[in-house]
Amino acid sequence: MADLATNFNGIQSPNPFWLASGPPTNCGEQVMRAFDAGWGGAVWKTLGVPVVNVSSRLAAVDYSGNKMSGLNNIELITDRPLEANFKEIYAVKKRYPNHAVIVSLMMESKAEWKEIIQRAEDAGADGLELNFGCPHGMCERGMGSSVGQEPKVLELITSWVMEYATTPVLVKLTPNTGDILVPGLAAVEGGADGISLINTIKSVIGVDLNTLVPLPNVGGQSTNGGYCGPAVKPIALYMLSALAREPKINIPISGIGGIATWQDAAEFLALGATSIQVCTAVMHYGYRIVEDLIDGLSNYLDDQGMKSVTELIGRAARNIKDWGDLDLNYGVVPKIDAETCIGCQLCYIACLDGGHQCIHTRQNPCQAFHGESDHGANPRLEPAPPVMHKPDGKVHENVPFIDENECVGCNLCSLVCPVPGCITMVEIPHTRGKESWNERVAKGLG
């Protein structure tokens, strides 16, 4: 089995899976159960001057019958006394010396930061995470994302923290910003040992159409919250890869945002994350999901012949380029496997209305106008008889076919097709060599 042990700039954990700061890390009893279930580390629920939280505070988007594909919250930082939190951190570290406990912090003045860092480290924290990301409530008080959005302030507070901290410090970034490289570089400038991202995305999740109160409802009113869960993963992956590709970001990154399965985790690692943090998926299913995270990732690493999880880190980041460097001569076309096609014609309607009008059925003439090569006027129905004989003996006459000359190779049909492996995008061989937009501009072509 591949070695999953993780060293995050000095923070050691038996595997890269950490709980993100949030309800799953509210208290010591929870964190201990999480470690028993297999989690390698936990970022404690953000500590600061304890607040009062509202009720209710969560709302979710369900998609196609799947619950909680996106979650929105208006919870602030811890509402429990600091004393209790530190006592529990101490107890956890005593019992689990080999697991990582990172304490998330949010303060205002330099003196306050100094004190809380001291107390967190005295309690046994293996590292600190600075919450510069919370996009609701705390930012109205000048903390959280209002820091993350001001690179100068972010750099200053980071440098204060670095004066006092003796354990590694991670800066947790907000995605609510124009260019993620700006706060990322500010964290490096401030001397941080690592970056974690993303925190939640500013959002209004929906409206109760009976009461016309947006969600979550707090006594007939609502406020904007922070969005997380599976829906935010692509945004997090982009931000992670942008930092990973920037040579000046020379500190490790802890990837967060929508991670629910081992595949999600593997993608974050491949795009440059050194550790993984999970919040929503645990809120949905419990700590037990870590079993498949670990098992699936180690089986994947074994299958890839990788001896250790570190071999995966950043392997895909190097394959992300600027658009201008992509090869304009490369092309693909779809091939439909008539044997497995179920004849739903989702690909046909997608290409007709949302693509480039180059998938046709055998029964109906093409409805689109194609200029000179119009086959709307000259219906091009494929001469060959319908193909497919399914193993069950059913014959489908509505297997569509592709006009490869018209096809732009966008992938849409293969994305909508509900049958795995039925539409394959196949590379078109050519002898023109590689040419990118930037190369064309350099040659004076447009």
Partner 1 sequence: MNRDYSLNDNRLETRLEDAKPLYSESEAKIEANRCLYCFDAPCIKACPTGIDIPAFIRKIASGNIRGSAKTIFRSNILGASTARVCPVEELCSGACVYNDLDHKPIQIGRLQRFAVHQALALEREHGRPLFTVAPPVHKKVALIGAGPASLSCGAYLALEGVATILYEKSDLPGGLNVTGIAPYKFMAEDALNEVNWLKKYGLDIRTGVEIGDELTVSDLLKENDAVFLGIGLGQDTFPGIPGEDLEHVFGATALIRRIKEDPGFELPDDLHKVVIVGGGNTAIDIARELALLGVPEVDIVYRRTEAVMPGYRHELNHAREEGVRLLEKQTPVRIEKAADGTLDLFTEHTDTKESTVHHADWIVMAIGQKKFAADIVPGLDVDEKGRVVVDETTRRTSVPNLYAGGDCINGGKEVVNAVADGREAAYAMIKSWGLQPVNTAEKPGSNSHG
Ligand X SMILES: Cc1cc2nc3c(=O)[nH]c(=O)nc-3n(C[C@H](O)[C@H](O)[C@H](O)COP(=O)(O)O)c2cc1C
Q: Which residues are annotated as catalytic?
A: 134
The binding track of 315-344 with respect to ligand SF4, each residue x by CB under 6 A or -, is ---------------------x----xxxx
Specify whether the CB–CB gap between 359 and 402 falls below 8 A. Answer: yes
CB 387 within 8 A of CB 336: no
Residue 135 neighbours by CB under 8 Å, 6+ apart: 144, 145, 174, 176, 199, 200, 201, 202, 224, 225, 226
Contact yes or no for 398/346 (Cβ under 8 A):
no
Between CA 50 and CA 297 the distance in angstroms is 37
Size of interface with partner 1, in residues (CB under 8 A): 17
Closest to ligand SF4 by CB, 204 or 342? 342
| Residue 290 interacts with ligand SF4 (CB under 6 A): yes or no | no
Looking only at residues 291 through 350 of this chain, which bind ligand X when binding is defined by CB under 6 A? none
How far are the Cα atoms of 10, 252, 427 from residue 240, in angstroms, in the given order?
20, 11, 29
In angstroms, the CA 92 to CA 94 distance is 5
How far the first Cα of the chain sits from its last, in Å, is 52
182 binds ligand SF4 (CB under 6 A): no
Q: Which residues contact 403 (CB under 8 A, 6 or more apart)?
A: 358, 359, 360, 375, 380
CB 77, min distance to ligand X, A: 5
Task: Using CB under 6 A, pick the residue from 73, 146, 177, 254 that binds ligand X.
Answer: 73
174 lines the binding site for ligand X (CB under 6 A): no
C-beta of 128 vs 388, nearer to ligand X: 128
Cα 77 from Cα 51, distance rounded (Å): 7
* CB closer to ligand X, 51 vs 344: 51
Of residues 25-44, which lie at the interface with partner 1 (CB under 8 A)?
Answer: 38
Among 9, 217, 261, 438, binds partner 1 (CB under 8 A): 261
Which residue lies nearer to ligand SF4 by CB, 151 or 400?
400
For residues 388 to 407, the per-residue mask of contacts with ligand SF4, x marking binding by CB under 6 A and - elsewhere, is ------------x-------
Q: Are 435 and 446 in contact (CB under 8 A)?
A: no
Contact stretch for partner 1 (CB under 8 A) within 114-122, 198-206, 223-231, 290-298 = 290-298
| DSSP code of residue 311 | G
Residue with tokens 């990837």: 255
- Are 2 and 270 within 8 A, CB to CB? no
* 62 makes contact with partner 1 (CB under 8 A): no
Task: Tell me the HSE value of 440 on the side-chain side, using a 13 A CA sphere.
Answer: 14
Which residue type does 103 have? V
Q: Of 53, 217, 224, 299, which lies in the binding site for partner 1, with binding defined by CB under 8 A?
A: 299
* Interface with ligand SF4, residue 23, by CB under 6 A: no
Q: Is 69 in the site for partner 1 (CB under 8 A)?
A: no
Q: Residue 280 touches which of partner 1, ligand SF4, ligand X, none (CB < 5 to 8 A by kind)?
A: ligand X
- Residues forming the site for ligand SF4 (CB under 6 A): 336, 341-347, 400, 416-417, 419, 422-423
- Residues forming the site for partner 1 (CB under 8 A): 38, 261-263, 285-286, 288, 291-292, 294-296, 299, 302-303, 419-420
